[in-house]
Structure 1
Amino acid sequence: MQGNPEYVIPKFEASQELSSVSLCTNVVNMRKNLESSATEEKESSLNSNKEYLTPGTEKDTNLCKASVESASQDFIGESPILKPKKLATTGPDPSRPPCRKAKDIRRERKEAKLAKLAQEALTRGESPMETKQCKMPNTQKVLEDFISEPLPENPAHTLEVKLVRSQPSSAEFQHTFKMAHQVYEMYQIKIHGDTPSKCSEPQFKRFLCNSPLEPWQPHIGPPQGYGAFHHQYWLDGRLIAVGVLDILPHCLSSVYFYYDPEFSFLSLGTYASLREIALTRELQRRVPSLKWYYMGFYIHSCPKMRYKGRYNPSFLLCPETYSWIPIENALPQLDAAKYSRLNEDAAAVDENGQVDISKIRVLYRQDLMRYGRYHALNPGADDEEEVREYATLVGAKCAYSLFLYRS
């Protein structure tokens, strides 16, 4: 048979003993060295009583026969031991982090959690030694556990999340404004099909940067204060997504979210919602009244908004009674019709919608008054229906506290 001279596969004759095994190997590259002894080997083989394995056809001109007199070192039993040439290696790649065993990583994570439990025990005035010796509780992980889970050494990627004030714009917001606008422009063009003229910097400022909210930072409140913010997501030093947020005394409101379409495979909308929920819970620990997370409008027929209905517990606002309905009760009605009264109680009404328009506050000629007095001063004013619609939209609580401007 033909083969590489360094890797020879022997052929056995059934009637031969181990000492008379013959090998057929390709010796084209060795032919010149053997020509001088070819005649002598031929005569020796003719005078020998041993049988040799011969080539199968006359075309095997590149084959020769060689006898193995002693195979005790090369064979064990009836199986050959092949000795391939060892390839030279250069060792591990120095540019990559060294491989680590999974059990070592798990042990380090466990030690980190035990250290955290010990610190919490010290805070409570308990003995940390008892905490270290006890087994870790086998409890289900919460959202914060996944977000704050320690990374391995030399991670392939790093993610940094920053909360920067947008109105009035902070120094960091101004420094990253160009990058934020570029991501917004790519998102609007790719995802929503907008033209570049609709994604200009002035339009971006009007839509997502300018806010009527005044900054407020009381002594008892979140460290960054209340107002309008941008939640920036940086992957390996590159801005890939931005969440536009309003932080208010009773809630965190998600105004808008946009991302670089190149990273759409990461499901950034879902991830950002989880991060915003975690932020709301963090703020709630500082300000107990801040306990709601508003995700904005929900359009059931819009596939881009379906992810908002995957969180539990969640509630949708009934458009007629303005009461909050569990989303699992509301979705079947939205499947049946695009518009639906979500509150199934036929007797329920908007308690905040019963407004006495004569008590609505009005700002008229730099003077504050009730609408009843304003109407008495202007008997010809034909705006009663307009004022009534305004009161219905804002509700009694706002109608009695806001000022309706009349010229």
Structure 2
Amino acid sequence: MRITDVDVVVTCPGRNFVTVRITTDEGVTGVGDATLNGRELAVASYLRDHLAAQLVGRDPLRTDDTWHYLYRGAYWRRGPVTMTAIAGVDTALWDIKGKVAGLPVYQLLGGRARDGVTVYGHASGDTVEAAVEDAARFLDEGYRAVRVQSAIPGLESTYGIGGVSTAGTHAYEPADAAVPTENVWDTEAYLDHTPRLFEAVRRELGPLPRLLHDVHHRLTPNEAARLGKELEPFHLTWLEDPVPAELQDGYRHLRQHTTTPIATGEVFSSIYDCELLIRERLIDYIRTTVVHAGGITHLRRIFDLAALYDVRSGSHGATDLSPVCLAAALHVDTAIPNFGLQEYMQHTPETDAVFPHSYHFEDGMLHVGEEPGLGVDIDLEKAAEYPYQPASLPVNRLRDGTMFHW
């Protein structure tokens, strides 16, 4: 069996998605997600202009060899564009491998380690009361874990707020243009507000629901230590991305000052970005994804390393990742021994129509289908109805106009 075609499909059924579709000479096809939110066309070009010709004629079942061929062969390795492109190819090859074997991919990864994949939803509100009410709604719908964000008084916009309750929409929808919108940030207002938010959530919802919160890389190590310590009475499952990902030593400072569990890694693209954090147990959950960390082949290596140090998975899963990515993540989640949580935001009906899939939500968990491969596909005719739309994520400035982390 040989690869005969590598197609790169860019479609925008509400969000821009890049999909790799690989075809073999025996007519078997596989799909992989290669979406890098806000930089989609850079990955599409990398795939079309550099990788596609290298793949034609290769054996699609040599997934590990192909991974290293694309990684080591580039010389200019790592980075989000390269690793996302490799991920799209690798995931598509695993899809083909499962179809050839007649098995769902999780069976090729070692078989089922759990009955379903526990997911968390995104609750938010313009006020603390509204956020508490939204969190209660998710629990009523069967979710076993909820991320809670609330608008910060005095700021016109807050990350994670606005439209989160509606499937497929959230506060960080890209602008309808290549030029990003600009938000204003105030760290002291945030630090003052967030402990009061979780005090209210626990008071109303009780001690048992699993609660999470996303800082989005916006604090210094000392500020993050202060927040983690003040949140300790509310027993969060995790505090996400408390400091910029580049400040890995900051996690050591944070660990020394708070027992609040820490999750990070959605912006990491390789095992080398998180090796120190895992090996020194500076984090509790690693949030790397199939699409941004080199595909199923490399993500499994990251999770295997994490398992040695009792660090659990918590993969990123926002709606800027397509159902192809979510399906692949669920197969990995189903098989690994150190699964923690999986982020889940429902896609729009238009997106689900473009990417028909067999996974489903029930009783707070996502369940992979039993179809051979990933159990997801792309409808090329429907995809063509939604052409690419230029879009950018927002940027942040402090009140004095200084550029800041978004």
TM tier relative to shorter chain: under 0.3
Relative to the length of structure 1, the TM-score reads: 0.22
Relative to the length of structure 2, the TM-score reads: 0.22
Q: Which has the higher contact order (CA 8 A, sep 6+)?
A: 2
